Amino acid sequence: MRVGEVVLKAGTRLRPQEFGLLAAVGRANVKVQPAPRVAILSTGDELVDASAKPGPGQIRNSNGPMLVAQVARAGGVPHVLGIARDEPDHLRALITEGLQADMLILSGGVSAGKLDLVPGMLSELGVQALVHKVTMKPGKPILFGVKGSKLIFGLPGNPVSSLVGFELFVRPAMRALKALEPGPCWVSAALPKDHTYRTDRPTYHPARLRMTEAGWTVEPIPWFGSPDLRGSQTANAFVLLPEGDHTHRAGDRLAVLRVEDDL
Ligand code: AMP
Ligand code: MG
């Protein structure tokens, strides 16, 4: 290295070798951009906290803790806003607080039912919706909007819709905020067995992705759809099944959404 030479440009992501390089040139202190702060708001009158016992017609808030873990895995700083009731004043107050963060993720209340107050309230608070509804399964009613530099995602309430919507849309946005290639990360993997299915929309089906000597393989796992979080628990990826009636043969390759780095 020559005197006066730039060793690391501003905006460079700090990986282990950058820390080593900074130390080597005596830069013990550097200015860094903080990780994105991501507010998380679960919505729904039926929801109770995980620590509470649900009464008749109630269920525990599973999306909140799941989104906290997803934000953390994606390198963001989660800020938990709790549960908003399906009631305009309560929802308005919590969304207003969430809009202080770099990014706001809501779950539930985003489709077209009477109690789906999220799209209307976001619009009232000055959020411009750029996307509402995507041809996909699970999770069609997903919403993406902006307010100034803030990014807002409304994920559908069913747990696997929320899980997939985050990996497919929110995580790439977080990567972009961190000056990384947004992704998402696709892997082409071979089926070990024939697989027959029918679906009316492109479907992100929970699956097991494995690295073998012959390359990546992927096996769709039994799964009962967007409320079936338990069924998706043994998955470590989502295989993209094109819409229609199909039989894919053993050895055929399919696109797989990779969500775990340490397989
Ligand atoms: P919604 O999108 O609000 O119509 O919710 C769709 C389904 O997901 C309903 O059965 C909700 O009870 C359920 N749901 C909504 N939010 C959550 C959550 N935070 N945790 C678990 N299930 C939820
Ligand atoms: Mg709801």
Nearest CA to ligand 1 atom 14: 157
Please write the tens of the pLDDT for every residue from 58-108: 999 999 999 999 999 999 999 999 999 999 999 999 999 999 999 999 999
Nearest CA to ligand 1 atom 15: 157
**∠ at Cα 160 (157, 165), nearest 5°?**
75
Count other Cβ atoms within 10 Å, centred on residue 237: 24
Mean pLDDT (the chain) is 96
Of 60, 68, 107, 166, best ligand 1 pocket probe by most atoms within 8 Å of the beta carbon: 107
CA distances, 251 to each of 60, 175, 244 (Å)? 41, 32, 20
| Cβ proximity of 221 and 208 under 8 Å | yes
Alpha carbon of 9 to ligand 2 centroid (Å): 46
| pLDDT at residue 11, as a whole number | 87
Nearest CA to ligand 1 atom 23: 157
Distance, in Å, from the CA atom of 134 to the CA atom of 127, rounded to the nearest integer, reads 19
| pLDDT at residue 5, as a whole number | 95
